[in-house]
Amino acid sequence: MSFPGARLAVVLLICAAVGGCGKREQDGPRLLLLCAAGMREPVSGAVREFEDQTGIEVDIQFAGSGTLLAMMGQLNADLYLAADGGYIEEASERGLIVSRHEIGTQSPVLAWNTSRKFEVSNLPEWVRGSRRQGMAIPETAAIGKVTEEVLKQEGVWSEIEPHARFVTVYELANAIQLGAVDSGIIWDNVAAGYEGISIQKFAGLDEVISEVEVAVLRTSPLPGTATQLAEYLATKESGRAFFRAHGLKVEEAP
């Protein structure tokens, strides 16, 4: 399924937010980071600290990993942080990547509104028994892509008829918390940040580990400065602390 009209609208909104899709005029070092929506909290904190320590300003554009990858050709961006390494790999195959830096890992979980009665023992039961499921769109969000892959492996992808679809993992998590949908598959570290959401791992989800990576893009007019930020997020202990606090599994600094 494709959403050309929606993607064009997102391009226009992103361009407006960052002041156009052409060359960015700047008085000093200023970076544009394209960031997966699910990483909003730790990235925002880490970038603020990076700016304070270096004096380098950073604009952050949050959206689904798939949306950002689709829009990359229209954006003169410096870095791309994706919720799953598969997006970085695809960007690399397109020749868009200078370097890639691993940050940590996250896993999908089945989440539901704690106030709702919820009794399923596996993913096929959830697909066939829940009437108010929410699902992230595979074309826009990494968690949506993972959901599709897992349900295909379970043989029930063609059976799911979600009550509502969401562009980002945060939109889905908010809907679960508010009761707009009863349940959905989201990232474990995202679920940990919400009150009123319970989670369960099932066969099919347990084996999935998504690597969160940040890449320096060939479109960057400041590749050295962009690399400095990438290394700060991925290897500096001060940067790692924000991701660890957010629930991401992060290796200890050497």
- Homologous superfamily of domain range 108-200: Periplasmic binding protein-like II (3.40.190.10)
Token pair of 158 as six digits = 């063609």
36 close to 67: Cβ distance less than 8 angstroms: no
- What is the reported pLDDT for 28? 67
- What is the reported pLDDT for 148? 97
Residue 108: CB atoms within 10 A of its CB come to 27
Strands (E), the chain: 30-36, 57-63, 79-82, 97-106, 108-113, 134-136, 164-166, 183-187, 197-200, 210-217
**CA 13 → CA 33, 61, 71, 97, 168, distances in Å?**
15, 10, 11, 24, 16
- What is the reported pLDDT for 234? 92
- Domain ranges in the chain are 4-106+210-245, 108-200
Give pairs for 218-224: CB < 8 Å, separation 24+: 218/95, 218/96, 218/97, 218/98, 219/72, 219/75, 219/76, 219/77, 219/78, 219/96, 220/31, 220/77, 220/78, 220/79, 220/98, 221/23, 221/24, 221/76, 221/78, 222/29, 222/31, 222/78, 223/78, 223/98
- What is the reported pLDDT for 9? 46
Residues with pLDDT less than 70, the chain: 1-28, 252-254
Same fold, 4-106+210-245 and 108-200: yes
- What is the reported pLDDT for 204? 83
- What is the reported pLDDT for 27? 61
173 close to 108: Cβ distance less than 8 angstroms: no
- What is the reported pLDDT for 253? 52
Fold designation for 4-106+210-245? D-Maltodextrin-Binding Protein; domain 2 (3.40.190)
